[in-house]
Chain A
């Protein structure tokens, strides 16, 4: 179990992590979701005692990280696949970690086997592909057979096979009763792996909920309309007190009125409709909506190119306009 209590990190003026309080429970995969720059990695570094919190604390099984004796036996983490000396062989990399925590040498062979790197155990890590480096990092996390595992954006940059392997690994670790905490900036990724969701934006806690509840609360349904008679449609809907949003390309979206009612309404007023379709907003959209206000916009974002990056705040009207625009683009 991991417990965060008012965990806060300030870099100069910037609040990277702002008063986070939540608990990560065993037996499930907990997704740690937030846009790039939300403070996920900083939070994880503080959990591992690498960065000092400005305020608050993170506890692992009730103890601060530095108080753990042989910490790799309690918690294994993969923060950055490249956090190793490229000139050292995979075996020696794992061996030095094992020795520091009193883990037997035989266990090094075991985890190399688990991640499928036995063949290249004697090769220098700098020759490894991203996927192999990731596997080596995960081998390091598994080394102490810990009850808690933590992965920071583990699927970033991996090929489909690697992604598949990591998803299954996380699920099987959780099913063994372990605590699995994994971050991502992609809702779609979390939807596939996580049972519980902790969402942050600009360092603040936005949601701490089971995946099922998150889906229930956030799946927005609406009706899409298309008509050549724009003005008349707007008039008719206005008279009936139905709110409509223009979504571009001659389409309109209506929340909260069933498609049947809209169809009958159009018929009564002899409106020509080219489209009348019930829609379900994706979880990705729900996530964007949740974080829209707290998104930090990087004009030169270092993790750019995600495609799923939510729109910048304050861009046109309210958040609704913001994410609607975004949706139109994608």
Chain B
């Protein structure tokens, strides 16, 4: 079983279902659209900021404000790529064709990750440039220190969100269960944990909070997290690795 055969097969699978187009399309449109809107609002608001707030105003991160919502579409993408196999019964046909489960999973994750990376990077660059255009004289330049890292980081963040979702879906199999856990986790629980002072210290080690540090160019006032942008991303990568290992362990062990 040549791995390239399976990669090709997974590419055919992913490009031949409509959920790929609408989830990734939605991720792009929502992230860019909301980023644009918030950038406009931030520009109008800028004059009312005090001196301290102006000093830490982060035009790059502001243009990525849509990520919080756009990532949900990325979660749906990652979940569906995997759980579609189970909800349709295709998994039995797939594993009959590719009984080497490690090859099967690695190929599926690799193809979906590559696609998510491309869409994530495109989304990130469009969000940045459109957002900066709205911010007018307060804008950041791509050549400013840390900005290119943050923009590329935005794409990496989206990709890692999709990968984490694939790992979780591989463990849970059911699309509804996977989304029912991931959606509230990223949209509610993480931000609640991060905003209540008692749980803040735990909250900042969650994948999205740690990972989103890569998109910041200026450190917010109240931020005393013990890691930098790359450290935060590494924490997120760790979460992804754990989720994928868990998914593989169960795929390997369980009856299909």
Q: How many A-B residue pairs have CB under 8 A?
A: 92
- Encoded as 1 (CB less than 8 Å from any B CB) or 0, chain A from 293 to 328 comes to 000000000000000000000000000000000000
Shortest CB-to-CB span from B254 to chain A, Å, is 8
The 8 A CB mask of B89-114 against A (1 = contact, 0 = none) is: 11111111111100000000000000
Asked if residues A100 and B97 are in contact (CB atoms below 8 Å), the reply is yes
Cβ of B6 < 8 Å from any Cβ of A?
Answer: yes
User: What is the interface of chain B, defined by CB distance below 8 A to chain A?
Assistant: 1-2, 5-6, 8-10, 12-13, 16-19, 84-85, 88-100, 255-256
- Docked CA distance A101–B100 (Å): 12
Q: Is the CB of B17 within 8 A of A85?
A: yes
In the complex, what residues of B have CB within 8 A of residue A85's CB? 13, 17, 84-85, 88, 90
Interchain CB contact under 8 A, B99 and A65: yes
Report how far A95 CA is from B11 CA in the complex, Å: 11
CB distance from A289 to the nearest CB of B (A): 33
Is B99 touching A68 in the complex (CB atoms < 8 A)?
yes
Lowest 7 CB-CB distances: which A-B pairs, in order? Answer: A100-B9, A92-B16, A83-B89, A51-B255, A99-B9, A96-B12, A50-B256
Q: Does B93 lie within 8 Å of A84, measured CB to CB?
A: yes
Partner of A66 from the list B13, B18, B100, B255 (CB cut-off 8 Å) is: B100
B65 CB to nearest chain A CB (Å): 33
Known: A48-B95, A80-B92, A95-B16. 18 other contacts (CB 8 A): A45-B92, A45-B255, A48-B92, A48-B99, A51-B256, A68-B99, A71-B96, A80-B89, A84-B89, A84-B90, A85-B84, A87-B18, A88-B16, A89-B16, A96-B12, A99-B12, A100-B6, A102-B5
Name which residue of chain A comes closest to B17, CB basis: A87
Which B residues are CB-close (under 8 A) to A95? 12, 16
Partner of B95, one of A50, A68, A69: A50
A-B contact pairs, 7 of them (CB 8 A): A48-B95, A80-B89, A85-B13, A85-B90, A92-B12, A100-B5, A100-B94
For the complex formed, measure the closest distance between the CB of A174 and the CB atoms of chain B, giving whole angstroms: 21
Q: Does A4 contact B (CB under 8 A)?
A: no
B97 and A72 form a contact (CB under 8 A): yes
Chain B proximity of A140: nearest CB distance (Å): 7
> Which residue of chain A has the shortest Cβ distance to B90 in the bound complex?
A85
Q: Does A82 contact B (CB under 8 A)?
A: yes
**B3, chain A: closest CB distance, angstroms:** 10
* Beta-carbon nearest neighbor of B254 in chain A: A52
A71-B97 contact, Cβ under 8 Å, with A51-B255, A52-B255, A88-B17:
yes
User: A112 interface residue, CB < 8 Å from B?
Assistant: no
Interface members, chain A 105-134 (any B CB < 8 Å): none
- A205 at interface, CB cutoff 8 A: no
> Is A142's CB within 8 Å of the partner chain B?
no
In residues 32-88 of chain A, which contact B (Cβ within 8 Å)? Answer: 45, 48-52, 65-66, 68-72, 77, 79-80, 82-88
Known: A92-B16, A95-B12. A100 touches B98 (CB 8 A): yes
CB distance from B13 to the nearest CB of A (A): 5
Q: Is A97 an interface residue (CB 8 A)?
A: yes
Residues in A with CB closer than 8 Å to B88 are 82-86
Given contacts A85-B17, A88-B17, contact A101 B90 (CB under 8 A): no
Collect the chain A residues with CB atoms within 8 Å of residue B92's CB.
45, 48, 50, 79-80, 83
A83 and B90 contact, CB distance less than 8 A: yes
